[in-house]
Amino acid sequence: MARLLMLFAGLSAILWSGAVGWMLAVGTDNQVMFVVCITLAAISMTIANVAYWPVYVIFAIPVSLSAAFGLAISGRPGHAVLAGAGLALAVSMSAISRRLGNQITRAFSLATANQALVDSLGERGRELEQACDALERVSRTDPLTGLANRRSRDMRLADEWTRAMRSGGSLAVVAIDVDRFKRFNDTHGHDEGDRALQAVAAMLEQGIRVPIDLAARQGGEEFMLILPGVDLAGAASIAERVRVMVAKCSADPAYALPEKITISLGVAAMEPALGRSMHELTIAADAALYQAKLGGRNRYELGTIRPVASAA
């Protein structure tokens, strides 16, 4: 492309130089004035090519030199001064155009570099935002099971309690513990124990309404379900469903656990209100879980919550 531009500029310079030099050498004063105006206009218009200064120089310098030569041999009054002015114009245009072209090229390079820097900073900003989002998810997720961790559970429970206080409705939780997990770990090793916990986590997620409900690992072999808008009967139904799913997953080839695992569950529900605390809800669920353990495991029990004392 650059070679084509230079070729076109050179051919144009040959035609213009011949015409301008001849007209300035033999033309009348009026013709000379007209040609000078046209020539200056043409040179001024080609200033657009100064960013690539060789193209500008290839056209403007020969035309200026031809004009100076035509004036020098014209013999009209002041021809020497005019020829000198044309020669000076050619020299100055050569020097100025090169300097200006280099400055324009440098400015373009700087603008390109600045844009690349802006784009890079924008990309780094997006990467940083993604990293922060990933870090936030990691801080709320249990690394072994992929469920919400205890911190996330506490935040979600507080949010759902506040929401139920504002809009009404029931809030249920299900406390869960893997039966005889220490014996399972001691018998089959920690790797199999981890796989068992992952299987339980998968069953819990399949048994709830994601993302309305939340399944969380509280630590060790302990889990909890948070069930917004669910009453005690509904929570008991969900608890029984996940209990059966866990009991059956040992035989699933996808998990291939070395022996059957079961869970015990404690179910509690209440309608948040003034004078109530969400800790009453979790305490009732834990107490019900304890009763399920005492009752033989692999079962659920319903928790009881004391009524709010009425004002006298």
Q: Which residues belong to the active site?
A: 221
The distance from CA 97 to its chain's CA centroid, rounded to whole angstroms, is 45
Angstrom distance (rounded) from CA 102 to CA 290: 83
Q: Report the alpha-carbon distance of residue 11 to residue 163 in Å, rounded.
A: 81
Distance between CA atoms of residues 149 and 36, nearest Å: 85
Residues 11-40 as b or e (16 or more Cβ within 10 Å = b): ebbeebbebbbebbbebeeeebeebbeebe
Best CA proximity match to 160, nearest among 213, 239, 232: 213
From its phi and psi, is residue 180 left (phi > 0), alpha (psi between -120 and 50) or beta? left
HEC profile of 151-213: HHHHHHHHHHHHHHHHHCCCEEEEEEEECCHHHHHHHHCHHHHHHHHHHHHHHHHHHCCCCCC
Contact 197, 144 (CB under 8 A): yes
Closest CA to 291 of 279, 304, 280: 304
Tokens found for residue 253: 């080839």
Q: Check if the beta carbon of residue 13 is closer than 8 Å to that of residue 63.
A: yes
